[in-house]
Amino acid sequence: MKTLVLDANQIDVAAEILQNGGVVGIPTETVYGLAADALNGAAVAKIFEAKGRPMDNPLIVHIADFADIKRFGLAKEIPASAEKLAKAFWPGPLTMIMKRTDVVPREVSAGLDTVAIRFPSHPVAQAIIKAANTPLAAPSANLSGSPSPTTARHVLNDMDGRIDAVLDGGASEVGVESTVITLATETPRVLRPGGVTVEELREVLGEVEVDDAVLHRLAEGAVAASPGMKYKHYAPKANVLLLKGSDDAFIDYINAHAADDVCALCCDEDLLLLRTKTVSLGRRGDYLTHARHLFDCLRRMDENPTVHTVYSRLPSTEGVGLAVYNRLIRAAGFEVIDLASL
């Protein structure tokens, strides 16, 4: 199958492919999604095949209006907390989990009794959902296990020949996947950190829990609240090591370990100080920019076959920093070197 590359004025072409049960890579403000008609189980099954995604990992359903939840009959009931969150953060990088109806095919919910729903803010994403006139199931448009795509080129690198089309809507602005919060538990609980921060969610809802799997390796045999958390994720080919310590200790450690196959995932201020290959996430402390650049940086390092070891700072867990932390700690297989204890 040849993958069509469409631009933003070819929404009607993409919509027709989706209505005929095809799969299209679409831009969103978080990362690019691999979309199919969420109400067509056979179409949704093609997403799993194209990605090589385990069938027990459910998908997010994308809508173009809060009222679409009711219009398409996706949820058993809409909790009051969902209305509050929608007012504050939709359209935007927040996914809400609620009890599903039987309208949601089992391919989407992967056997769970819940459904994850998001209303994206990207104008092209909204236009394609409206033109297809159906909710779109869409996970990130990468091969399972590789970094999420934030440009149409990233999608083609992974998916050329595996999907019908990709719609180019420019680079994703948030750069990491949506925050996932479940409203199906007694206290709302964040299952995955993203562009909407835990601090912001607490301002609207009061008490919000953060699932253990956000910060820590899942215990052997434990059941993941969000099935995606149990899989090896965001894994570049190189060995990623996270360094915990001061800026000076970070620079000194990397320079002491400088070698041809070493690359530092660093900040702009470090570039002149490091004597290794470098890829910068942005200015120190600018977590929004780090999130936007993270996956592109990981892919760029992967494209360099001489890079075998990547050193990075252990990210902050504050604000959007938590989303970067969550991705990098997985990329590093939870390995952290504490520079203060050396």
Instruction: Report the interface residues with ligand AMP, using CB under 6 A.
Output: 57-60, 97, 109, 112, 114-116, 139-140, 177, 180, 191-192, 226-228
Cα distance between residue 156 and residue 191, in whole Å: 29
Which residue, among 31, 34, 28, 29, has the nearest Cα to 3 in the 3D structure?
34
What is the C-alpha to C-alpha distance for residues 205 and 81, in angstroms, rounded to an integer?
A: 7
Structure tokens given for 218? 């899942």
| Residue nearest to ligand AMP according to CB distances in the complex | 228
Q: Using an 8 Å Cβ cutoff, are 272 and 127 in contact?
A: no
For residue 140, the minimal CB distance to Mg ion (Å) is 3
For 122-176, the DSSP string reads -HHHHHHHHHHTS-EE--BSSPTTSPPP-SHHHHHHHHTTTSSEEEE----SS-S
CB of residue 140 to ligand AMP, shortest distance in Å: 4
Q: Would you say 112 or 125 has its CB closer to ligand AMP?
A: 112
Residues 337 and 66: their CA atoms lie apart, in Å, by: 45
Q: Nearest approach, Cβ of 169 to ligand AMP (angstroms)?
A: 17
| Helices 287-303 & 321-331 angle (0-180, nearest 10) | 20
Nearer to Mg ion, 52 or 111 (CB): 52
Residue, CB closest to Mg ion? 140
Q: Which of residues 231 and 253 has its CB atom nearest to Mg ion in the complex? A: 231
How far apart are CB 231 and ligand AMP at their closest, in Å?
8
Q: What is the DSSP-derived secondary structure letter of residue 327?
A: H
Residue position matching structure tokens 């819940």: 114
Looking at the Cβ atoms of 140 and 312, the one nearer to Mg ion is: 140
Cβ closer to ligand AMP: 116 or 208?
Answer: 116
* CB of residue 227 to ligand AMP, shortest distance in Å: 4
Nearer to ligand AMP, 140 or 276 (CB): 140
- Among ligand AMP, Mg ion, none, partner that 75 touches (CB below 5 to 8 angstroms by kind): none
Least distance (Å) between residue 228 CB and ligand AMP: 2
| Residue nearer to ligand AMP on the CB measure, 25 or 267 | 25
Token code pair at residue 223: 């059941």
* Residue matched to tokens 């760029």: 300
Tokens 């990130």 sit on residue:
140
* Binds 81: which of Mg ion, ligand AMP, none (CB < 5-8 Å by kind): none
Give the nearest distance from C-beta 138 to ligand AMP in angstroms. 7
Both structure tokens of 85? 């969150």
116 binds, among Mg ion, ligand AMP, none (CB under 5 to 8 A by kind): ligand AMP
